[in-house]
Structure 1
């Protein structure tokens, strides 16, 4: 899917969230990344193969 140089991280790589945003829908809480990943505002992910990555927002110590 990616036509950028250097190429965006693949959907299977650990840094997949660093891919460019193709479509942003902040009003609906999601964005489509260049590698086919749907990124939700709660940091959950929907991968192109239909698998789900649970939200993984880090908590900061007070």
Structure 2
């Protein structure tokens, strides 16, 4: 599913950035993808995906 239609950023791309590249904050995600730089409607959903992915990763480690 696309999170950011303006820049074509999908939820899979966001999860990959968190899991494989170790990105843990919205500032870095925005730098890597330009997410939120056009209309900004995607920021809330992207933050939820970031938090959810980090929670799942933490649960697997614990």
Q: Same fold (TM over 0.5)?
A: no
* Greater fraction strand: 1
Question: TM-score, normalised on structure 2?
Answer: 0.30
Return the structure number with greater relative CO, CA threshold 8 A, min gap 6: 2
Question: TM-score, normalised on structure 1?
Answer: 0.30
Larger Rg computed on CA atoms: 1
